[in-house]
Structure 1
Amino acid sequence: MKMLAAIIGAAAAFCLSLGHAQAQSYPAKPVRFLVPFASGGSSDIIARSLANHYSSALGQQFVVENKAGGAGNIAMEETKRAAPDGYTLILGHVGTLAVNPAMFGAKLPYDAEKDFAPITLLALVPNVIAVHPDLPVKTLAELVAYAKANPGKLNYGTAGNGSAGHLAMEYFKLQSKVDIAHIPYRGTGPMLTDLLGGQVQLTFNGIPPILGHIKAGKLRPIAVGSAKRVSSLPDVPTIAESGFPGFETSQWYGLMAPAGVPKAVVDLLQAEAAKALSSGDAHRRITEDGALTAAGTPEAFAQLIAREKQRWGEVVRAAKIQPD
């Protein structure tokens, strides 16, 4: 027994020393940073801002790869199958980590909590309900009243079925009991083209991609989904203060690696992300369009994923949302 214990202890010490050695030489080659969505929008801004910091601070290129498809599942599965050595990372998202487990069920090709190592939460992106200026509403109460007076006549656009905007609006529809039809697009860009053209009347979207259109008067903001008002739209009330106490929804993004990545690598990436998000170019680029930086520990990020997975699972089931 003593010999067995000694062997186990030696093996553990070897693994620990190997992990430290990997971390000390990491990164020794370029790192792939997958984004499970098409280019453009908040995910790109956040991933590329962080990648630029890592490349500069750690002396190797962190190469962002947009790998859209399957509601993010394609990139998530590829990351799950990658070697857990820190050379494949992915931008985790409320959709892939909290929505897809309920929407796809047993068909989901990964386990959101077991197949990945959370590194850090990166950013919160408040959502805003925005309408085409031709829609005769200026407040959330007026929007609800108009929708109830015209059931089924309003359409809202999103970046796709099961997207964060889709879930946010379905959550609001459950709370307000309004009938507004969903029009899914293949990305925020195509949706905005039709929203600006009046083909759809409103959206419940992350602020960064539409802030410029709001400031230009091409879209009218009605209410933000965050718990507090946001600095980029200080005069726009929250949904909670507009008659729906306790309502809150924001998109969130975090950094993930395949499960089993050495803890020392996780710690290095988390520490550098905290630096990037506290000041400098990454902080400025992420926040200038309305997002909020939100660095934290791997443990706190894991806890957020578990909470959000339960909350959005309930919305998916109540709204009967099905994958494409």
Structure 2
Amino acid sequence: MRSVLKKRSAMHLKVSAGLVGISLALVGCGAGGAARANDGSDYPKKPVRFLVPFAAGGPSSMTALAYASCLERSLGKPVVVENKPGGSGGIAMQELAGAKPDGHTLGLGTNGPLVMNPIVNKLGYSLADFTSVGVMAEMPTVLVVGADSPFADAKEFFAAAKASPGKLSVAVPGATTSAAIELTRLKSDYGIEVTAVPTAGNAEMTTNLLGGHVDALFITDHSDVAARIADGSFKPLAISSPERAAWYSEVPTLAEVGFKDLVNAVSVFGVVGPKGMPENVVSKLEGELKTCAADPGVAEQVGERFVPDEFAGSKELHTAFTAMQDLYQPLLGK
């Protein structure tokens, strides 16, 4: 997949510099030995925990499992994925922020839990409390309806939404996800109101649509979504990426149907750790992550279309999350 990270940086967003380096003062032979013992040169010393802020079975969990398996082989220690849903991802992120910054506790960082949740809610962490390592996957969000929906295309859907504000319901994967926020911007910037229905993820969203409980989904694209589109149970109306997706070539972008600024509901799944990780631990993880991103087995499990063609490392991931924060802070900050 062609990465959207560079596109975001071209949107005239104010982007901060990358990670802050950590310098170690070494005084004398004894101090040098102690410093080397703590600088991560022998990392990892024990199993690595990998926290995922969503329930098992969804795109984030499947991505984490694919990369964890690869990292486990390259690092020589178990990498154990732990799903910790709740609090719009805040439970996992809070635990990660408070973990020892030695690289033995990592997590999946993405738009909602890492960036938007602490802007919207009073939490014990912010983006500044994390170290970025690198990108695992990027997944656009797709607006879909059921096979029996009366809406043939996006224009019909949005015309109906404009005619009856709040009547149409759209399930989203969480209250502070980029999908949910973009629907808020649909109202504030374009005067079209739909009712967002927060869920725990793709599985619950699918059940809601097939059961007739919502009119549409604004759902993170993944293999499960592609399968539903292929079998006809989902009908795609629009996609959130800046450009059309090659695998849905007939599906217009939201920008094409009149919403030129609604191009930010693309989930970036990155590896993050607590603030203050040693530079050489970050560098080692970044290198191993890059190798895993090029592994055909990982690409097959995650979905080749979702793994960026060009690997984005620590600085690029940090820049992307900072750009998101700069974009949404004025919109969501209280």
Tell me the TM-score range normalised by the shorter chain.
Answer: 0.7 to 0.9
- Give the TM-score of the pair, scaled to structure 1: 0.87
Contact 2:158 2:192 in 1 (8 A): yes
- Please, which of 7, 14, 17 is the counterpart of residue 36 of structure 2? 17
Alpha carbons of structure 1 residues 15 and 227: separation in structure 2 relative to 1, 3 Å: farther
Shift of 1:307: 0.9
Q: CA–CA distance in 2 between the matches of 1:264 and 1:304?
A: 22
Shift of 1:215: 1.2
Q: CA–CA distance in 2 between the matches of 1:91 and 1:10?
A: 37
1:28-177 to structure 2, matched below 5 A, reads: 28-104=45-121, 107-113=122-128, 115-177=129-191
What one-letter code is carried by the residue in structure 1 that aligns with 2:174? G
Counterpart check, 1:276 vs 2:292: yes
Q: CA–CA distance in 1 between the matches of 2:262 and 2:166?
A: 23
Q: Which residue of 1 aligns with 2:243?
A: 228
Q: SS of 1:227's equivalent? A: coil
Q: Which residue of 1 aligns with 2:19?
A: none
- Give the TM-score of the pair, scaled to structure 2: 0.85
Q: SS of 1:309's equivalent? A: helix
Shift of 1:138: 2.4
CA RMSD, Structure 1 to Structure 2 (Å): 2.2
What one-letter code is carried by the residue in structure 2 that aligns with 1:18? A
Over the matched positions of the two proteins, sequence identity in percent amounts to: 32
Structure 2, gaps ≥5 residues long: 1-23
Q: CA–CA distance in 2 between the matches of 1:89 and 1:197?
A: 37
Alpha carbons of structure 1 residues 134 and 305: separation in structure 2 relative to 1, 3 Å: same
Contact 2:54 2:200 in 1 (8 A): no
Shift of 1:257: 1.1
Q: CA–CA distance in 2 between the matches of 1:85 and 1:8?
A: 18
What one-letter code is carried by the residue in structure 1 that aligns with 2:186? F
What one-letter code is carried by the residue in structure 2 that aligns with 1:260? G
CA-to-partner distance for each residue in 1:64-101, whole Å, 9 max, x for gaps? 00011111111111112211111100111101222112
What one-letter code is carried by the residue in structure 1 that aligns with 2:139? V
CA-to-partner distance for each residue in 1:296-322, whole Å, 9 max, x for gaps? 2312221211110121233435xx9xx
Contact 1:130 1:204 in 2 (8 A): yes
User: Which segments of structure 1 move beyond 4 Å, counting only runs of 4 or more?
Assistant: 11-16
More helix as a share of residues: 1
Alpha carbons of structure 1 residues 214 and 195: separation in structure 2 relative to 1, 3 Å: same
Q: Which residue of 1 aligns with 2:212?
A: 198
**Which sits farther off after the overlay, 147-156 or 33-42?**
147-156
